[in-house]
Structure 1
Amino acid sequence: MGSQKPSSFSSLFFLIFSIYLFRVSNSALVPAIYVFGDSLVDVGNNNHLKLSLAKANFPHNGLDFPTKKPTGRFSNGKNAADYVAEKVGLPTSPPYLSLISKFRKVTNTTPFKTGVSFASGGAGIFNETNKLFKQSVAMDQQIEFYSLVYKTLVGELGSPGAAEHLSKSLFTVVIGSNDIFGYHESSDLRNKYSPQQYVDSMASTLKSQLKRLYGYGARKYVVGGIGPVGCAPSQRKRSKGGECDEEVNNWAAIYNIALKSMLQTLKMELKDISYSYFDVYQVMSNFLRSPSSFGFTEIKSACCGLGNLKADVPCLPIATFCPNRNNHLFWDLYHPTQQAHYMFANYIFDGPFTYPLNVNQLIAL
């Protein structure tokens, strides 16, 4: 008799959780959000990668998260993925790797209907980019994981039901910064490709990846461009005056042009898709040009770290952190603060700087 109690409790728990998700999904603006990308939207996938050097599951990360504990987010608190989910009335899409066993067997499919995050710190559009941090989930592998979610949804909802569900869901893609850093750090790549050739290859590779997602039901895409990554503390610290690396910024800007052109072409080829492109480069540039207008007083130095601009040592437990995170643009040597992410989400959802539709308009289609 005693051995049956845990099973009964477990069944009751999942019944209650399923009812909760059903109610949430019925009141939400979209059925689900499926997230793909890098550390800007990673909510904990890298916690489950033993060899990865790109992890944030230790203090002082999560300092301002509701639990006050590190979650695997590269932030003092929430990131844009969390805030966009809140805006549409859904729970944050949980990390896919938290839903499977060490033997890669799915242990919980319940969240599949409201969304899953496949984003991984250090990930790139190119598989080779992942070598920068030893281990991460590249975009191709993220799509492979999603294909398993897709098959589960088809099995549970049927093909027409899954198609209907996914056609109304959001597919968020935030990736490419690590590919730019990879080009910057590799003399071999710079000798092999011109900046234009490299970013064109990034855009064409991402196009094929978005087409793969289309084959698995994606119809509404939310795609983030690359920000002025040459202004991150990790890049500023290399100059005597803490100036931005304009060469890196230029590569990012050239890629964004290629990305926007690619999305327009993709829309012409796949008539039944729609997309929101978030111009994070312009938003971040505004923050950098007129920080006080947005409540920032520190735009060069990281909040958490050690050394020059707090960028010589990452945000490790031995690092120090600023007392007022809301007035800093950067949390660590690469990533924005929770406050910046909150502002990003507002722009993504309501505009401006989100084209040709903001997410609120995208949902209404």
Structure 2
Amino acid sequence: MTHMPSRNIMGIFLILLFLIGLRCSGTAAQLVPAIFVFGDSLVDVGNNNHLHLSLAKADFPHNGVDFPGKRATGRFSNGKNAADFLAEKVGLPTSPPYLSLVSGNSNVPSFLTGVSFASGGAGIFDSTDQVYKQSIPLSKQVEYYTTVHDDLVKHLGSSAAHKLISKSLFAVVIGSNDVFGYSGSVKASSNPQQYVDSMTSSLKGYLNILHSRGARKFVIIGLGPIGCCPSQRNQNRTEECNEGTNRLSLMYNEALVAMLHTLKSEELGDISYSFYDTYTVMQSFIQSPASNGFTEVKAACCGLGKLKAKVACLPISKYCPNRRDHLFWDLYHPTEAAARLFIDDAFDGPSHHAFPVNVRQLTAL
């Protein structure tokens, strides 16, 4: 009698457990097997909780005031963030923070629906870590993913692991901290174009590594007009946006779009991607707040001082009674309401917001 290799039996068993769990949980139609998330505080779902020396944390009130259970989870938000809403859209639970799953041992069943490596304070460049003392830069996030990849191959077998990974989404939400970091000695050593070209060149290298380990479908979120966040407006007497920061964000987005096009057309023809133009959409929120459900697009909801941006969202801070009408939760981050709108648009939005395909179309490829 022919015996099936034990590794394949284990792989089939784990996948069956996963499918049964999804069916029992009443999850919406599942469009992809898993989501692997890379990025910064916009999509951190708790990795920084496990970095004991980090200053970039959100595991305390008033964060999470609108999250289920009204608890702070490490999300830089009053409730759910973009990573949560993306998972909901494709019928999956939120990808758990990698550092919550590992303590010297792999946790393959938890890896089956994806993992989040995102970390508050992270950047494309390792140097962004100097600002917040401890985060997981993109280089380390990608390194962690290679470990997850190898564990999946080991436990599922090469063929089953490759099938799962190739159909999964790889969401990349990063770059804001690098743009904020363009000052001082960095500014003196490179002009803006050189800087953003270096950002996209570095990112391209990481996308190549992910591709070499099975990634085929990428959700790439462009930078918004981050010069308009409360912390930047607070630096101007007129409370206007920091146009220098916004110009750098636009330059980066343009370089990023060009890099992705070249990567697909000339180097990695088997990848697919959806780029989301956060900048244009967020500008429409700022310029036409009422038509998007907002009444306050300058000040933070949670904080103290001018624009509630003198003091960050700490337990001593005050927060607004209606979070749904604010664009910003704190000095830097959108409210749950804003994050939901961004993901709704990225998922089903028009081709001038999400291109060359939107995320729903990407899942079907």
TM-score bracket, normalised by the shorter chain, equals: over 0.9
Partner of 2:155: 156
C-alpha separation between the residues in 1 aligned to 2:212 and 2:132? 30
Partner of 2:49: 47
| 2:343 is equivalent to residue 345 of structure 1 | yes
C-alpha separation between the residues in 1 aligned to 2:105 and 2:72? 24
C-alpha separation between the residues in 2 aligned to 1:100 and 1:23? 26
In 2, are the aligned partners of 1:163 and 1:217 still within 8 Å (CA)? yes
Residue number among 175, 179, 195 corresponding to 2:192 in the alignment: 195
In 2, are the aligned partners of 1:99 and 1:109 still within 8 Å (CA)? no
Partner of 1:173: 172
In 1, are the aligned partners of 2:18 and 2:112 still within 8 Å (CA)? no
CA positional deviation for 1:19: 3.8
Residue number among 217, 224, 228 corresponding to 2:225 in the alignment: 228
Partner of 1:260: 257
Question: What SS class does the counterpart of residue 94 from structure 2 fall into?
Answer: coil
In 2, are the aligned partners of 1:21 and 1:114 still within 8 Å (CA)? no
Runs of 4+ that moved beyond 6 A: 15-18, 22-26
Partner of 1:20: 21
C-alpha separation between the residues in 2 aligned to 1:60 and 1:107? 33
Partner of 1:7: none
C-alpha separation between the residues in 2 aligned to 1:106 and 1:124? 27
C-alpha separation between the residues in 2 aligned to 1:347 and 1:308? 31
| 2:249 is equivalent to residue 248 of structure 1 | no
| 2:85 is equivalent to residue 83 of structure 1 | yes
Partner of 2:9: none
CA positional deviation for 1:156: 1.5
Question: What SS class does the counterpart of residue 300 from structure 1 fall into?
Answer: strand
CA positional deviation for 1:216: 1.0
CA positional deviation for 1:108: 2.8
C-alpha separation between the residues in 2 aligned to 1:21 and 1:112? 14
Question: What SS class does the counterpart of residue 181 from structure 2 fall into?
Answer: helix
C-alpha separation between the residues in 1 aligned to 2:18 and 2:173? 29
CA positional deviation for 1:273: 0.3
CA positional deviation for 1:215: 0.7
Partner of 1:355: 355
Partner of 1:12: none
Partner of 1:146: 145
Question: What SS class does the counterpart of residue 141 from structure 1 fall into?
Answer: helix
In 1, are the aligned partners of 2:300 and 2:329 still within 8 Å (CA)? yes
Give 2:364's aligned amino acid: A
In 2, are the aligned partners of 1:236 and 1:242 still within 8 Å (CA)? yes
Aligned length: 346
In 1, are the aligned partners of 2:106 and 2:151 still within 8 Å (CA)? no
C-alpha separation between the residues in 2 aligned to 1:19 and 1:324? 39
Please list, as runs of the form range in 1=range in 2, the aligned pairs for 1:267-278 lying within 5 A after superposition: 267-268=264-265, 269-278=267-276
Mark the runs of 5 or more structure 1 residues left unpaired by the alignment.
1-14
CA positional deviation for 1:21: 4.6
Question: Normalising by the residue count of structure 2, what TM-score does the alignment of the two structures yield?
Answer: 0.92
Question: Normalising by the residue count of structure 1, what TM-score does the alignment of the two structures yield?
Answer: 0.92
C-alpha separation between the residues in 2 aligned to 1:291 and 1:26? 31
Partner of 1:296: 294
C-alpha separation between the residues in 2 aligned to 1:120 and 1:31? 23
Question: What SS class does the counterpart of residue 333 from structure 1 fall into?
Answer: coil
Please list, as runs of the form range in 1=range in 2, the aligned pairs for 1:65-80 lying within 5 A after superposition: 65-80=67-82
Give 1:228's aligned amino acid: P
Of all paired residues, the percent bearing the same amino acid is 62
In 1, are the aligned partners of 2:108 and 2:155 still within 8 Å (CA)? no
In 2, are the aligned partners of 1:34 and 1:115 still within 8 Å (CA)? yes
Tell me the alpha carbon deviations over residues 79-112 of structure 1, each in whole angstroms, 9 at most, x when there is no partner. 11101101111000000000012xxx13532111
Give 2:196's aligned amino acid: V
Partner of 1:321: 319
Tell me the alpha carbon deviations over residues 2-24 of structure 1, each in whole angstroms, 9 at most, x when there is no partner. xxxxxxxxxxxxx9778415767
Give 1:128's aligned amino acid: S
In 2, are the aligned partners of 1:126 and 1:202 still within 8 Å (CA)? yes
CA positional deviation for 1:163: 1.1
Please list, as runs of the form range in 1=range in 2, the aligned pairs for 1:82-101 lying within 5 A after superposition: 82-101=84-103
| 2:92 is equivalent to residue 111 of structure 1 | no
C-alpha separation between the residues in 2 aligned to 1:147 and 1:189? 30
Partner of 1:8: none
